A = this chain, B = another copy of it.
Amino acid sequence: MTMNQAKGLILKLNCPDQQGIVAKIASYVAGHSGNLVEFAQFSDSLGGKFFARLEIDTSSLDVEIQDFIEGFGTLGRSLRADWHFRVLPYRMRTAVLVTKTDHCLNEILWRAQMGELPVEITSIIGNRTNCMDLAKRYAIPFHHIEMDGSKRENGFHEIHSLLQQEKVELTVLARFMQILPDWFCSEYQGRLINIHHSFLPAFIGANPYRQAYERGVKLIGATCHYVTSDLDAGPIIEQEVERVQHFHSPSDLARLGRNCERNALARGIRFHVHDRTIIDGNRAIVFPD
């Protein structure tokens, strides 16, 4: 619904719920001649929290954008809020981690080029070289980092260095088949997105399509989620399903599932980059577009 590449500002915020928050925030914006393009909010009566995402057209602001952002601090602190501003237009520096399969990577590269994902792919990192050709086609640097056996721990440190060096803001696990060390999950918490090839929490762990086949399910799915140190248990951003039948073999399920994976991951990344997600414990508030 929004053209995030237009000039403007996104404000993402959460705080304890109380009376008058919307009025206070909207008044601050209006008080400086900002124009609300979108104001999505959610008062979680069960959790007692307030969540909001504002998109502000700043073309008629009566102060500099930076001044507007700083001035908000007084209100933000009085609300005991966590908040974040993002100046538009914006393209998020993103690294993609892969192993062998390339369908998720292909989807990201194509959507980025198309303008559907406002990301700048800084690097593609693989513990196998299968995706190297695809990276070349899009002229993105490919880094092969070996992670087998004893090289694993060192490999993650190498990845970490690379992400630091390239000032990566978002790391996407696009069917990256390695279990991450806890320190890595902690370091990148909230900035690390995975696609799991099942409809979580069903079929956690390895080979979910085989598990789905054996259980004889009639729908398969994929789950895009933030990574936490608890395997496949992080906050869910997006899920997608596809109907299947008894005649679909595990490899058919994998084929049909690829579509779920691609779409759920692409939408999940889009929501994250557009600041449409707010992590709340083990759940993700998502204001979709």
Contacts and interface: CB of A to CB of B under 8 A. Distances in A.
Interface of A: 1, 3, 19-24, 26-27, 29-31, 33-39, 41-46, 60, 103, 106, 110, 114, 116, 137-138, 199-203, 214-219, 221, 235-239, 241, 243, 245-249, 251-252, 255, 259, 263, 282-286, 288-289
Given A24-B30, A215-B283, 13 more contacts: A1-B252, A3-B251, A23-B26, A37-B43, A44-B247, A103-B110, A214-B283, A216-B236, A218-B239, A218-B286, A241-B241, A246-B285, A252-B289
Nearest to A42: B247
List the 10 closest pairs (A to B, CB-CB), nearest first: A216-B283, A20-B30, A23-B26, A202-B202, A23-B30, A22-B26, A23-B27, A137-B137, A218-B239, A246-B285
9 contacts: A21-B36, A26-B27, A27-B27, A199-B202, A201-B203, A202-B202, A214-B282, A215-B236, A246-B285
A282 B42 contact: no
A39 B19 contact: no
Contacts of A1: 247-249, 252
Q: Which of A33, A37, A202 has the most CB of B within 10 A?
A: A202
Nearest to A103: B114
A263 B259 contact: yes
Contacts of A37: 43, 45
Contacts of A217: 200-201, 236, 239
Contacts of A20: 26, 30
Contacts of A202: 199-202
Contact of A43 (B38, B243, B289): B38
A19 B45 contact: no
B286 A245 contact: yes
Nearest to A22: B26
A215 B114 contact: no
A190 to B, nearest CB: 15
Contacts of A288: 245
A25 to B, nearest CB: 8
A202 to B, nearest CB: 4
Nearest to A238: B218
